[in-house]
Amino acid sequence: MDRLEQLLSEAKPLYFKRKRQRRMTAALCALSPCLVAVFLSFQTHRTAQGPIYDIYMDEISLVESGSVIADMGLPVDEYGLLKVS
């Protein structure tokens, strides 16, 4: 009988530790969709930023003025795209 009580006293903390871990895992699994939803709601409310014209003004003016491919001396079609024959 003494041996049985000793085994139970050793197993009791391990049993409650596993039980606590299972509860924590279940709680985390239950809360994870909520956390993902909150994260995604913050991501979707960001405003989209266009190009910063102060930095990219030279590149934008080059593209608007004509074909970069034609400026390089390559054959282009009427749309300014590379002509493949």
Q: Name the residue ranges covered by the structural domains of the chain.
A: 1-46, 51-85
CA quadruple 50, 55, 59, 61: dihedral sign = positive
Give the tens place of pLDDT for each residue, 59-68: 666 666 677 7
Give the tens place of pLDDT for each residue, 10-55: 889 889 999 999 999 999 899 899 888 888 887 766 666 666 666 6
Most confident of the ranges 1-5, 18-22, 71-75, 78-82: 18-22
Going from the C-alpha of 4 to that of each of 7, 8, 32, 56, the distances in angstroms are 5, 6, 41, 79
Question: pTM, whole model, 2 decimals?
Answer: 0.39
